[in-house]
Amino acid sequence: MADENLNPADPPCLHLLSAFLAIEPTDSLIALARVCGEGSVTERVQRFIWSHCISESDGKIHAPYLKSFLKKLITEAELNDCPVLDEIYELYAHYMTQLKDGVAGKETARINKCISFIFPNECLQLSSCPKSRKLLIPLQCSLNMLEGDTGCSVWPSSLYLSECILAFPELFSNRSCFEVGSGVGLVGICLAHVKASEVILSDGDMSTLANMKVNLEASHLSIGTDVQKTIEDPKRVKCIYLPWESAGEEQLRGFKPDIIMGADVIYDPVCLPHLVRVLGSLLNQTKPCSEKQNENRHVSLPESTCATRDIFNVAKQGNEDSSNGFEAFLGKTETNGASSVAVVVSRKGPLALIASVIRNVDTFNYFLSLIDKASLTITDLTETLKPMNLLPYMHSYKRSEIRLFIVSCKHSS
What is the per-residue DSSP string for 105-168? TTS-SEEEEEEEEE--GGGGGSTTS-SSSEEEEEEEEES-GGGT-GGGS--HHHHHHHHHHHH-
Q: Domain of residue 293: give its range.
A: 113-409
Task: Give pLDDT tens digits along the chain (413 positions).
Answer: 444 578 998 999 999 999 999 999 999 999 999 999 999 999 999 999 999 999 988 778 889 999 999 999 999 999 999 999 999 999 999 999 887 654 444 444 689 999 999 998 766 555 555 556 889 999 999 876 545 566 788 999 999 999 999 999 999 999 999 999 999 999 999 999 999 999 999 999 999 999 999 999 999 998 875 544 444 555 689 999 999 999 999 999 999 999 999 999 999 999 999 999 999 999 997 655 445 444 444 444 333 333 222 333 332 333 344 333 344 433 333 333 333 333 334 446 899 999 999 999 999 999 999 999 999 999 999 998 899 999 999 999 999 999 999 999 986 44
Give the end of a domain, one of 40, 74, 104. 104
pLDDT for position 4: 57
380 and 234 share one domain: yes
CB atoms within 10 A of CB 181: 26
Q: Are residues 232 and 163 in the same domain?
A: yes
What was the pLDDT predicted at 367? 97
CA angle 370, 374, 375 (to 5 degrees): 125
Q: Please give the Cα distance from 174 to 22 (Å, whole number).
A: 30
Q: Which of 104, 128, 156 is the last residue of a domain?
A: 104
Of 104, 123, 151, the one marking the end of a domain is: 104
203 and 233 together in one domain: yes
The helix/strand/coil state of 301 is strand
Burial of 235 (0-12, 13-18, 19+ CB in 10 A): middle
Q: Are residues 21 and 122 in the same domain?
A: no
Q: Are residues 141 and 83 in the same domain?
A: no
How far is the C-alpha of 235 from the C-alpha of 314, rounded, in Å? 31
The predicted pLDDT at position 345 comes to 41
Q: What is the pLDDT of residue 302?
A: 36
Q: How many Å apart are CA 54 and CA 22, to the nearest integer?
A: 13
CATH code, 399: 3.40.50.150
pLDDT recorded at residue 233? 59
328 and 393 in one domain? yes
Which pLDDT does position 232 carry in this prediction?
53
User: What is the pLDDT at residue 167?
Assistant: 92
68 and 165 belong to one structural domain: no
Strand, coil or helix: 412? coil
In DSSP terms, 296 is beta-bridged to 346
Q: Total structural domains in the chain?
A: 2
Same domain (yes/no): 100, 118: no
Output Rg (C-alpha) for the chain, integer angstroms. Answer: 23
Which candidate, 153, 156, 118, places its Cα nearest to that of 137?
A: 118
pLDDT at 60: 83
Give the CB-side neighbour count of residue 246, counting CA atoms within 13 A.
Answer: 6
Sign (positive or negative) of CA dihedral 72, 84, 114, 207: positive
Annotate 20-70 with DSSP letters as a single string.
Answer: HHTT--HHHHHHHHHHHTTTS--HHHHHHIIIIIIGGGTT-S-HHHHHHHH
Q: Are residues 131 and 166 in the same domain?
A: yes
Shared-domain flag, residues 62 and 158: no
**Cα dist from 412 to 243, 348, 375, whole Å:** 28, 8, 11
Supply the pLDDT for residue 89.
96
Q: What is the pLDDT of residue 142?
A: 85
Q: Both 161 and 77 in a single domain?
A: no
Indicate if 100 and 133 belong to the same structural domain. no
